[in-house]
Amino acid sequence: MVMRISGLSSGFDTEGTVTKLMQAQRVPYDKLGQKKQTAEWQRDALRDINLKMTEFRNTKLFNFKQESTFNAKTVSITGNLDAVSAKGTASATNTNLKIEVVKLAVAASERSAEKITTPEFDPTKPLASQSENLTKGTLSSGTVTFKINGTQIQFDSSKESLNDVIAKINKDTNVTAFYDSVENKIAFMANNSGKTNGSSGKEANIVFEGALLKTVFQVGGSSPDVDSGIDAEVKINGLTTSRTSNTFTVNGIEVTLKKEGGVAATISTKSDADKIMESVKTFINDYNDVLKTLNDKSTETKNTDYLPLTTEQKEALSEKQIESWESKAKAGLLRNDPILASMTRTLRSSMTAIVDSGSDKYNSLASIGISTGQYYENGKMYIDETKLREAIEANPDAVKAIFTGDATDDSPSKAGVGERLYTQLNSGLTDLTKKAGLANISYDDSQLSKRIYDIDSEMTIKLKRLSTIEDNYYKQFTAMETALNKLNSQGENLLSQLGTS
């Protein structure tokens, strides 16, 4: 530690002089600090772009390029509107179905043949304790097992009540049980309609096994109160067929039978042009947004008069002034960045490529009404909605292929716009990560992070040198003060001697 002596003897402003001398010495160090700050801003800006492009690829583009986006269908019913209802699914195809409902499917059900409990029976208490309130059979304490449609249920009659047993039936089997305390009976209904009962899943009636069910609950006997399950009978385009359920799917159309008899209903489907167009318009807006980001950042004018502020410069400014200055200093930091320029070119080429869609007429975005604007708009896409709607209605499969087609080794030209964009974005994002790393990571092995680290290391060395230079300045001025102090002392002694002679 160098002892720093102010100009007590000389009256010299040592501190001020050293500060001014060090300002000149700090210029190279401050320039390094500005280079570091610039590199950090560039890294952060590229990471922001990386984040935005990743979000576009993983959510908006990924969802859009799914075939289901272009399989939206409108469903219409003519004829007997009361007989059926219908809705399209993601796998629906354009189709016409003539549906005649001959018979509706019915779920099997069964009730106790006679009253099984007395009015005093409490369904919340352990079954064994209620044995005397059972009208049919007895129930001792211990483990009881039975089966419904092949599924075994086990309970402890000394601990579990009728409500507990019913809860297990409803949870573990394909049957719903219900106890009515007014009629003192228990009822069962299959969860699925038609002949779907028994361990085989093909029986018309619910299959009960076990003394509790047959003796105590009075179901599954020789003359129970039973409704058998019935399969639906329907004519589809003249073909008589059956289904276990009143709701089933044909050609991707979910059909629900509602009423027997009467005239047939005709179900027709076609591509939902409105819904598909909305999806396309949303996608084009999202694409234009990311393209604008790339264009804006790679062509932004750099403010050469605004360099990053040094620490001393910041001390002389308010926070608002600093914010305004840095906003100008950050402008144009990515101008002509080769990665951004490359991404812009490849994305634009993906949007204008010819796709082997199976149609000579509709094989590119331009052919379905989606094209670029003026040259100065840098690839911004516009939609001719009339032309797009015509293409969707005329050849929806070709439109789907243009956006979602998959390339093969033999036919790379079948790659749709979605796949091409996805591939190009993957390549660009890899390059961005190599150059700037990922957000929320303070240091990585990216090019800019390494550059920042190198500059920081060089600044550490220079800071040590600056400290040495400052100490040397103070040593020199301290030596001068010491010499002046000694000279003053000698002068005072000489004057003192002259005064006494």
Q: Does residue 16 sit within a domain?
A: no
Residue-wise pLDDT tens digits, 94-126: 889 999 999 999 999 999 999 999 999 999 999
492 found inside a domain:
no
pTM above 0.75, yes or no: no
pLDDT at res. 129: 95
pLDDT > 90: percent of the chain: 69
pLDDT over 80 at 6, yes or no: no
Q: How far is CA 202 from CA 127, 229, 349, 429, 445, in A?
A: 33, 10, 58, 56, 64
Among 227, 257, 282, the domain boundary falls at 227
Task: Based on the fold, state whether residues 411 and 396 are members of the same structural domain.
Answer: yes
Examine the domain organization and report whether 321 and 352 are in the same domain.
yes
DSSP run (H or E) holding 7: none
Same domain, 333 and 344: yes
Looking at the structure, tell me whether residues 32 and 85 fall in a common domain.
no
Is the pLDDT at 479 greater than 90? The verdict is no
- What distance in Å separates the CA atoms of residue 416 and residue 435, rounded to the nearest whole number? 29
Q: Is residue 383 part of a domain?
A: yes
pLDDT in tens, 212-239: 999 999 999 776 789 999 999 999 999 9
> Same domain, yes or no, for 266 and 279?
no
Arithmetic mean of pLDDT over the chain = 89
Q: Coil, strand or helix: which one is 217? A: coil
Contact 175, 165 (CB under 8 A): no
Q: What's phi and psi for 254, nearest 5 deg?
A: -80, 110
In a domain, 305, yes or no: yes
Which pLDDT score, from 0 to 100, does residue 22 have?
A: 62
* Residue 306 lies inside a defined structural domain of this protein: yes
What pLDDT shows up at residue 70? 86
DSSP line for 283-302? HHHHHHHHHHHHHHHHHPPP
| 315 and 376 belong to one structural domain | yes
Query: What integer pLDDT is reported at residue 484 of this predicted model?
Result: 66
The answer to whether 164 and 153 have CB atoms below 8 angstroms apart is no
Counting runs of H as helices and runs of E as strands, what totals does the chain give?
13, 17
Say how many domains are in the chain. 3
CATH of the domain at 162: 3.30.70
What local confidence, expressed as pLDDT, does residue 430 receive? 94
| Same domain, residue pair 58 and 179 | no
User: Would the pLDDT of 30 be above 80?
Assistant: yes
Residue 10: per-residue pLDDT: 52
Q: Contact at 8 Å (CB) between 362 and 368?
A: yes
User: Which strand ranges, in their side-by-side order, compose the sheet holding 253-257?
Assistant: 84-88, 253-257, 247-250
The answer to whether residue 4 sits within a structural domain is no
Instruction: Kindly give, in sequence order, each residue whose CB lies less than 8 Å from that of residue 400, ignoring residues fewer than 6 positions away.
Output: 67, 70, 71
DSSP per-residue codes, 123-161: TTSBGGGGGGGBSSS---SSEEEEEETTEEEEEETTT-B
Residue 370: inside a domain, yes or no? yes
Give pLDDT, residue 470. 73
* 199 and 99 inside one domain: no
Is it the case that residue 501 has pLDDT exceeding 60?
Answer: no
pLDDT of residue 468: 80
466 in a structural domain: no
- Quickly tell me which residue has 């010499």 as its tokens: 483
pLDDT-derived band at 1, boundaries 50, 70, 90: very low
**In this predicted model, what pLDDT tens digit does every residue of 165-197 receive, in sequence order?**
999 999 999 999 999 999 999 999 999 999 999
Do 399 and 325 belong together in one domain? yes
Per-residue pLDDT of 67-102, as tens digits, reads 778 888 889 999 999 999 999 887 788 889 999 999
What's the pLDDT at 131?
Answer: 93
Q: What is the 3-state secondary structure (H, E, C) of 428-463?
A: HHHHHHHHHCCCCCCCCCCHHHHHHHHHHHHHHHHH
**97 and 242 fall within a common domain:** yes
Domain housing 163:
107-227
pLDDT digits (tens, 9 = 90+) for 281-340: 999 999 999 999 999 999 999 998 999 998 888 989 999 999 999 999 999 999 999 999
Consecutive H or E run containing 481 = helix 447-500
Reported as a single tens digit per residue, the pLDDT across 422-478 is 999 999 999 999 999 988 776 688 999 999 999 989 988 888 887 787 777 777 767
Instruction: Tell me the per-residue pLDDT of 233-290, one tens digit each, with 9 for 90 and over.
Output: 999 999 999 999 999 999 989 999 999 988 899 999 888 899 999 999 999 999 999 9
Same domain, 89 and 131: no
Same domain as 305, residue 397:
yes
Residue 276's Cβ-count burial label (10 Å; 0-12, 13-18, 19+) is buried
Tokens in use for 198? 């028994």
